[in-house]
Amino acid sequence: MTIPATIAASADLAVKKARLVRSPARYLVSAMLAGIYIGVGEVLLLTVAGPLEAGHSGAVKLVEGMVFPVALTMVMFAGADLFTSQCMTMTFGTLSRRTTWMDTARIWVMCLLGNLAGAVFFALIIGAAGTVKSGPSSALLGSLLAAKEAETGGQLFARAVLCNMLVCLAVWMFTRTSGDGAKAFMVWIPVFAFVSSGFEHSIANMALFSLGIVSGQAGVGDLAHNLAFTVPGNIVGGAVLVAGAYWFSNRGASKAVDVPDEPSLPAADTAPRTLTTV
């Protein structure tokens, strides 16, 4: 797909999401699934990289970056609604005058709530399973939480901006690429970059801090403090640095695509195959 065609298709998807949110229960379930999939990635990261951290390996960050892209890959291919990519999708819709800023705000709020509910739900199941209750994975969880809590508000915000720039670029490149293997690789590259670099993803932090809360290594206030800076940073990264930049540089070149009056399928089924539901 050309860049103008991708912008137009993203605006089309934003319109469909604005309509789908009229059925809030359906939308919240889709958002919860995204929170769960991100939680899967966090537990995989802790389980695989924990022993390396315990052995003081220099490859910890590298391995973390290699395994965590599983989370976004599941979101993209299985179909779910992730807040960080909605920052880009809904902004394309609104800048193209296909949706309103009120539609965008409504989607962002509902997606955040659904992602949080999914992350908490998954953390409770992991707590019952005892997967990260002790051992190297638990130690790595504590180390990651301590590092995030030590960051200043400005650092959290700036790292969140950089993180969602990369996440939305992953979605953007996924959309423009044909072939499932190529799409998976396009997801892996930017996510590997943000995880290995230590940038801040608000939904991944929801999952990580929820695991910490369940295991007694963090409190609700710690999560709230983190989200107070990472959510705005993620919005800037996706809405301004990706959607805003591509829309401005191709302004007037994209053409609106036809949208049916009402979607007849759930969120994961209404999106074109070349797009993702995130």
Q: Dihedrals φ, ψ of 201, to 5°? A: -110, 115
Domain positions in the chain: 3-250
Q: Which residues contact 174 (CB under 8 A, 6 or more apart)?
A: 76, 183, 186, 187, 276
The pTM is what? 0.89
Answer for the pair 6, 175: CB distance below 8 angstroms, yes or no: yes
Instruction: Please give the pLDDT value at position 195.
Output: 96
- Give the CATH number of domain 3-250; options: 2.10.25.10, 1.20.1080.10, 3.40.50.720, 3.40.50.10470: 1.20.1080.10
**What would the mean pLDDT of 99-117 be, rounded to a whole number?**
96
d(CA 80, CA 37) in angstroms, rounded, equals: 9
Q: In whole angstroms, how far apart are CA 44 and each of 24, 75, 184?
A: 30, 15, 18
d(CA 20, CA 107) in angstroms, rounded, equals: 10
Q: For 109-165, write each residue's pLDDT tens digit.
A: 999 999 999 999 999 999 999 989 889 999 999 999 999 999 999 999 999 999 999
Instruction: Please give the pLDDT value at position 22.
Output: 84
**What would the mean pLDDT of 230-254 be, rounded to a whole number?**
91
